Amino acid sequence: MQANDRVVFENVSKFYGDVLGVNRVNLSIPPGITSLVGPNGSGKTTLMNLVTGLIRPTRGRITVLGIRPDQPDELFRYVGYCTQFDSFPRGFTGYQFVYSYLRLYGCAHREAEDLTWKSIERVGMTEAARRKIAGYSKGMRQRIKLAQSICHGPSILVLDEPLNGLDPLVRAETIALFRALAEDGMHVIISSHILHEVDAISDQVILLSNGYVVAEGQIHGVRSEMQEHPMQILVRCDRPGVLAAKVFEQDSVVEAQIHKDGLGVLVKTRDPARFYLMLNQIAQNGVSIESVAPADDDVNSVYEYLIGSEEAPR
Amino acid sequence: MNPLWITQIMAVLRLEIRKTFLSKRGFWIYFLALMPVVMFVGKSIVDLELQRRPNFGEDTTVFATVFQLFYLRLAVFFGCVGIFINLFRGEVLDKSLHYYFLAPIRREVLLAGKFLAGLVATCIIFATSTMLQIAGLYWSEGWRVFSDYLLNGNGLSHIASYLGATVLACIGYGSIFLAAGIVFKNPLIPVGAILLWESINSFLPSLLQKISVIYYLKSLCPIQITPEAGTFFAILSINADPMPAYIAIPGVLLVASAVLVAASFQVRRMEINYATE
């Protein structure tokens, strides 16, 4: 019986001897796509290994849909984990890798066979399934691990750098698969140090640095709470000089810069709502506005503001 | 319909048996098991070539000596080291243990499945070797002498005892080395310590002797060996307080069960952290 629908960390710390993994983490992760973002060594994999019981917290408590991670027989009925470990049982083909997992799960031969082919097909590995994994490319190994993690229809899918090694086409297909799984009501927890990859698909992000959670929530919400960094808005228009002069009339605008290409103005404002209202008036007064878009309302900017550019992931 | 844990043990068994038998790293175990077979077959061939009349009683004693001093103490011992330690430690070194740890299977069930797989492999390898050794040794005696030994002498009970001792050695040493592979990062240290403990067993106080495998196995061997007094082999073969089989067999099983229970507690707390291995 699932006690709740969240992955909960309560004051969780993990130390590897004297080395800090993560410290005092309090999180409550709802369904949808959640991205763990941070540079190498920030604690992303540690959090994922804690969720899946591969390691135990030094302090604190974790529950996954109300189940403790030290109960693997219960936990992995609901959880699939695509790890970053790039090693496989010796001599396995892709098919055997998934099929054997399902037999461990308790499936009978026929059921395991059906589920194996379904998940292999879903990651586009049908043709290579009978080949030994040792001969797979990095991208194929990633995909077969993904097939294994979804083969039993988990409610929570934990993916550690799942897009590593995938070519652009497969990357796009895989992201679409994550979206589809999340739309089915699944928790998809993804770690990545490539921000733009997860920015587009995440419902919420958890930003990590040196083992600490520095921000969490919907990325736009996190950004709007950062008062010390005025919001940057790029306005594309036909008369950027006129627009720049007009916007400076507003107190909350702290900077207005003609864009490098001369076709717009980059505005920094402490009150975006008021700025958007004023923009309507400017548009009615003869400046033709083509587009208005936040320029730093993304994970990358938030991460840089919070942690500093020298540490920011790519 | 089987309970889930039986289905899962069978799944682990299937995976592990294939890995254990076909592992290139394990070929030296076959060599260890076949060494005495080659020796006894060679002895029979020489007897037949030279038309030398074999001495049945002497052959039986030679077999008992080789079985106790080499086969149980070294061949089966190190065979179990090679197979059982690698069930967990080998997977940690290969960085593939997480495959099992991410399945909805209780760690104790996984441990049981792996132990059974190791046991099936070692029993098949070493029990087959025991049978082949007996066949090889008595080949030069001729079928009539051998069948007389089986049907009218103690042959059947001797063979059963040797096979039983082989299987119990696999159970006893297997459980210890399985646990060692879980607890220790460098298995050479516990292997050396256990080899030493088993070797000095005869010198230990009576109570401590019972916390070993070889103590019970010696009692199960059907023929007391008597190497030349004062030699190292004579010291190893001392069995001042032999146990009846009805105590020796449960004794080994008890030692193995205790070790496996301790190992199951340990495996439940085991973490995957390949970086530190």
Chain A touched by B185 (CB under 8 Å):
no
Q: What is the percentage of chain B residues whose pLDDT exceeds 70?
A: 93
The verdict on a CB contact (< 8 Å) between A49 and B272 is yes
Q: In this predicted model, what pLDDT tens digit does every residue of A8-41 receive, in sequence order?
A: 999 999 999 889 999 999 999 998 999 998 878 8
Q: Is A214 exposed, middle or buried (0-12, 13-18, 19+ CB in 10 A)?
A: middle
Of A85, A100, A105, which is closest to B98 when you measure between CB atoms?
Answer: A85
Cα(B226)–Cα(B238) distance, integer angstroms: 8
The most distant pair of C-alpha atoms in chain B lies apart, rounded to whole Å, by 63
Does the structure show a pLDDT above 90 at A217?
no
Contacts of B31 (CB under 8 A, 6+ apart): none
For residue B158, what are the domain limits? 4-276
Lowest mean pLDDT among A208-217, A223-232, B1-10: A223-232
The verdict on a CB contact (< 8 Å) between A90 and B94 is yes
- CATH topology for the A230-295 domain: Alpha-Beta Plaits (3.30.70)
Using an 8 Å CB-CB cutoff, list chain A residues near B107.
Answer: 72
CATH of domain A7-219: 3.40.50.300
Most confident stretch, A251-265, B54-68, B169-183, B196-210: B169-183
Lowest mean pLDDT among B143-147, B203-207, B236-240: B236-240
Of A54, A77, A105, which is closest to B272 when you measure between CB atoms?
Answer: A54
The verdict on a CB contact (< 8 Å) between A105 and B12 is no
Using an 8 Å CB-CB cutoff, list chain A residues near B12.
Answer: 104
Scan for tokens 């990633």, then name that residue.
A142
Q: In this predicted model, what pLDDT tens digit does every residue of B166-225 receive, in sequence order?
A: 999 999 999 999 999 999 988 889 999 999 999 888 788 888 888 889 888 988 888 877
Provide the residue ranges of all domains of chain A, joining segments of one domain with +: 7-219, 230-295
Domain total in chain B = 1
Does the structure show a pLDDT above 90 at A132?
yes
pLDDT of residue A1: 42
Using an 8 Å CB-CB cutoff, list chain A residues near B19.
Answer: 89-91
Chain A touched by B86 (CB under 8 Å):
no
Chain B touched by A260 (CB under 8 Å):
no
Using an 8 Å CB-CB cutoff, list chain B residues near A70.
Answer: 268
The sheet that has A253-258: what strands, in order across it?
A253-258, A264-269, A231-237, A289-294
pTM of the model: 0.84
Using an 8 Å CB-CB cutoff, list chain A residues near B88.
Answer: none
Contacts of B143 (CB under 8 A, 6+ apart): none
